[in-house]
């Protein structure tokens, strides 16, 4: 076949024929720069492209940061205590890029399922080095949901870790035309074996970088396309606000697929069929599921990309275990950052209280190694904020983000952090809050409204869904803003507070709009309550009725609804007080422990 591409050539064809990239090692000119470091490369393997560039990389800040210190440890796999340098990360990414087919795969989607490990970063970097769009998959999803993401994204290449191979057997049979790459664990290599002369070539940062699937309360999950320019500004906003440096070291315990709130359709169907489970109507259960649906937080940007962008070190913890985390903190006190969801902090707190007095002192002392601890992806109860401060000496930093924008609002690194508030807009971010009466209440205290966000952090589009994309933006004062779907308001202190999702956290009862999160914050101050969720269920008289679902602390007994309502009356308006009270052993959670 001639070395040209017609307008009808598909990405899969492009990969199969292995066309020569524009990023050829033979190209010269003002767009290329060279960094001098050496390494041998293995010979071209079967199926790879002979003569393709082995050392040219897109001119992305992420790669340039890595080139600044190739000997620095980039990622540590805690399982086995394996330390991988930036030099090896670049080397392995370039080698994997060769296996993808060509140096520039021209925006083809590369879907991958990799554990929380060094290998994840290799695949992501290889995809970006090849000019592809990374499509992370979720290991908690069954084959039908994985197949949906693969087909909807029109992925041309699938990279899977060997530990997930069995999960894809049926999918491979249905999609034999795709290119499948099975990845083994990488071994640590000495720097002398992985150095190279790297050349950077001009790159259009408006090209797609990430395609992350997120869902609303109805319909199939949507692919959220983020460009390299979006990623750059999402990362820079956090690097500046939280002062990331190459001296930082973070322990990463969260999922890396960052599709954190997709509904399990089969679970929904099961609940509908059962009708009533443990005293719950199916409508209550579904409301609780809806409440967990979120376009979520992009922890991969916070933890992985921000770290590597800054030249810092990431420790990948393959499995979260509260007791083991405390032990890690005590044994090697070289960490500076920790980021988690409220449930993880709750589990760490529970584990702490089971330790002896001497162990507790060791735990508290170990927390001094951190310069910053962050909580996000769900509302942090005030009681938990205060208890963690007593245990660790840290006021947790809360912030607001979602897949479409990365992080948008944050409490300050230095300054007052108020429980239940998310602070102020980050760099590169502008916000508007518009009331139901279409009034701008952005700077009006205690006036809730829909939250809108604008800036280079905002995603490009929903993949293949132009109508959904168009309906997700609104013009305000001549500017295009993204509709977050969250209600927010400014407090008397001049910072912002998230009231909840308009679709699930805002309950419409008796003509009032009630924030479920506000009610939850109050209930969690009850001495016998461990966890709770507040939902609205359909009611003929009130429209929706407020229902509290409660998990009691160990050793306590259920209380009566009247007693509960009387306890709440001095704290919140009568119309906000739950009309029903349900007790459960545990709340349903998604893969982010939300």
Pick the most confident of 318-322, 374-378, 567-571, 584-588: 567-571
Strand, helix or coil for residue 391: helix
Pick the most confident of 256-265, 445-454, 540-549: 445-454
Least confident of 94-103, 107-116, 326-335, 395-404: 94-103
Quickly tell me which residue has 């990389």 as its tokens: 57
Q: Which domains, ranges and CATH numbers included, belong to the chain?
A: 11-43+54-203 (3.40.50.980), 507-594 (3.30.300.30)
Least confident of 18-22, 233-237, 514-518, 535-539: 18-22
pLDDT at residue 369 above 80? yes
Contact 590, 260 (CB under 8 A): yes
**What is the number of residues in the chain?**
594
Q: What percent of the chain has a predicted confidence (pLDDT) above 90?
A: 60
Report the alpha-carbon distance of residue 290 to residue 288 in Å, rounded.
5
pLDDT band at 338 (very low <50, low <70, confident <90, very high): very high
Give the pLDDT confidence score for residue 219 in this predicted structure.
Answer: 67
Q: What percent of the chain has a predicted confidence (pLDDT) above 70?
A: 80
Give the pLDDT confidence score for residue 497 in this predicted structure.
Answer: 94
Residue scoring higher pLDDT (362 or 379) = 362
Residue scoring higher pLDDT (502 or 113) = 113
Give the pLDDT confidence score for residue 246 in this predicted structure.
Answer: 96
Structure tokens at 555: 């050793």
Give the pLDDT confidence score for residue 301 in this predicted structure.
Answer: 58
DSSP track, 216-272: -SSSS-EEEEEEHHHHHHHHHHHHHHHT--TT-EEEE-S-SS-------HHHHHHHH
- Please write the tens of the pLDDT for every residue from 16-74: 333 223 222 222 222 222 222 222 223 333 233 333 345 789 999 999 999 999 999 99
pTM: 0.78
Give the pLDDT confidence score for residue 277 in this predicted structure.
Answer: 28
DSSP track, 104-136: --TT-EEEEE--SSHHHHHHHHHHHHTT-EEEE
What sign does the dihedral 563-564-570-573 (CA atoms) show? Answer: negative
Strand, helix or coil for residue 383: helix
Q: Are strands 512-515 and 280-281 parallel, antiparallel or unpaired?
A: unpaired
Give the pLDDT confidence score for residue 282 in this predicted structure.
Answer: 42
Q: Mean pLDDT throughout 368-374?
A: 97
Give the pLDDT confidence score for residue 302 in this predicted structure.
Answer: 65
Give the pLDDT confidence score for residue 196 in this predicted structure.
Answer: 82
Structure tokens at 134: 């990374």
Give the pLDDT confidence score for residue 109 in this predicted structure.
Answer: 96
pLDDT at residue 163 above 90? yes
pLDDT at residue 467 above 60? yes
Least confident of 26-35, 217-226, 463-472: 26-35
Structure tokens at 144: 């039908």
For 307, residues 6+ apart whose C-beta sits below 8 A from its C-beta are 244, 248, 250, 313, 314
Residue 404 burial class via C-beta count within 10 angstroms: exposed 0-12, middle 13-18, buried 19 and up: buried
Spacing of C-alpha 27 from chain mean position: 38
Reported for 513-518, long-range contacts at CB under 8 A and 24+ positions apart, including other chains, are 513/436, 513/448, 513/487, 514/546, 514/575, 514/576, 515/448, 515/487, 516/291, 516/546, 517/379, 518/572, 518/576
Q: In whole numbers, what is the pLDDT of the chain averaged over residues?
A: 82
Least confident of 105-114, 164-173, 189-198, 297-306: 297-306
Give the pLDDT confidence score for residue 589 in this predicted structure.
Answer: 63
- Please write the tens of the pLDDT for every residue from 241-300: 999 999 999 998 876 544 322 112 222 222 322 232 234 444 444 444 333 333 333 555
Q: How many CB atoms lie within 10 A of CB 276?
A: 11
Least confident of 119-133, 274-288, 574-588: 274-288
Q: Mean pLDDT throughout 108-129?
A: 94
């Amino acid at each position: 076949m001639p070395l040209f591409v017609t307008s009808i050539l598909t990405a899969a064809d492009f990969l199969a024929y292995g066309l020569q990239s524009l990023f050829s090692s033979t190209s010269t000119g003002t767009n290329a720069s060279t960094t001098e470091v050496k390494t041998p490369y293995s010979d071209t393997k079967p199926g790879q492209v002979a003569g393709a560039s082995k050392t040219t990389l897109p001119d992305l800040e992420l790669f340039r940061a890595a080139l600044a210190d190739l000997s620095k440890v980039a990622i540590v796999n805690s399982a086995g205590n394996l330390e991988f340098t930036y030099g090896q990360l670049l080397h392995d990414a370039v080698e994997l890029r060769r296996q993808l087919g060509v140096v520039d795969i021209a925006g083809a989607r590369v879907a991958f399922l990799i554990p929380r490990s060094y290998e994840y970063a290799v695949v992501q970097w290889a995809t970006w080095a090849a000019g592809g769009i990374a499509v992370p998959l979720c290991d908690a999803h069954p084959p039908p949901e994985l197949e949906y993401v693969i087909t909807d994204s029109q992925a041309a290449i699938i990279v899977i870790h060997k530990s997930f191979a069995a999960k894809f057997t049926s999918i491979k049979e249905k999609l034999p035309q795709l290119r499948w790459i099975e990845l083994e664990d990488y071994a640590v290599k000495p720097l002398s074996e992985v150095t190279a002369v790297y050349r950077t070539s001009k790159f259009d940062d408006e090209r797609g970088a990430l395609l992350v699937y997120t869902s609303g309360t109805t319909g199939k999950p949507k692919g959220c396309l983020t460009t390299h320019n979006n990623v750059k500004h999402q990362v820079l906003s956090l690097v500046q606000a939280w002062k990331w440096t190459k001296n930082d070291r973070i322990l990463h315990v969260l999922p890396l697929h960052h599709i954190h709130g997709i509904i399990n359709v089969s679970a929904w169907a099961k609940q509908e069929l059962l009708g009533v489970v443990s005293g719950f109507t199916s409508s209550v259960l579904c409301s609780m599921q809806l409440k967990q649906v979120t376009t979520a937080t992009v922890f991969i940007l916070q933890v992985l990309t921000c770290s590597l962008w800054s030249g810092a070190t990431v420790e990948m913890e393959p499995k979260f275990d509260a007791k083991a985390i405390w032990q890690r903190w005590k044994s090697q006190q070289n960490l500076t950052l920790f980021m988690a969801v409220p449930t993880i902090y709750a589990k760490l707190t529970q584990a702490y209280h089971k330790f002896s007095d001497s162990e507790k002192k060791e735990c508290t002392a170990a927390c001094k190694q951190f310069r910053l601890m962050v909580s996000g992806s769900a509302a942090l109860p005030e009681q938990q904020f205060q208890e963690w401060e007593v245990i660790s000496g840290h006021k947790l930093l809360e912030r607001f983000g979602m897949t479409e924008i990365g992080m948008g609002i944050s409490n300050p690194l230095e300054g007052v952090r108020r429980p239940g508030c998310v602070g102020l807009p980050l760099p590169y971010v502008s916000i508007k809050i518009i009331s139901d009466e279409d009034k701008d209440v952005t700077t009006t205290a205690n006036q809730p409204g829909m939250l809108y966000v604008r800036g280079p952090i905002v995603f490009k589009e929903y993949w293949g869904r132009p109508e959904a994309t168009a309906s997700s933006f609104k013009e305000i004062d001549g500017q295009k803003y993204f509709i977050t779907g969250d209600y927010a308001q400014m407090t008397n202190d001049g910072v912002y507070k998230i009231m909840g999702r308009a679709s699930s956290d805002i309950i419409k009862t008796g003509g009032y709009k009630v924030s479920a999160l506000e009610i939850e914050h109050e209930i969690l101050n009850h001495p016998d309550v461990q966890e709770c969720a507040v939902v609205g269920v359909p009611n003929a008289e009130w429209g929706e009725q407020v229902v509290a679902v409660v998990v009691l602390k160990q050793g306590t007994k259920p209380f009566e609804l009247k007693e509960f309502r009387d306890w709440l009356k001095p704290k919140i308006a009568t119309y906000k007080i739950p009309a029903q009270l349900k007790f459960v052993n545990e709340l349903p959670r998604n893969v982010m422990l939300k």
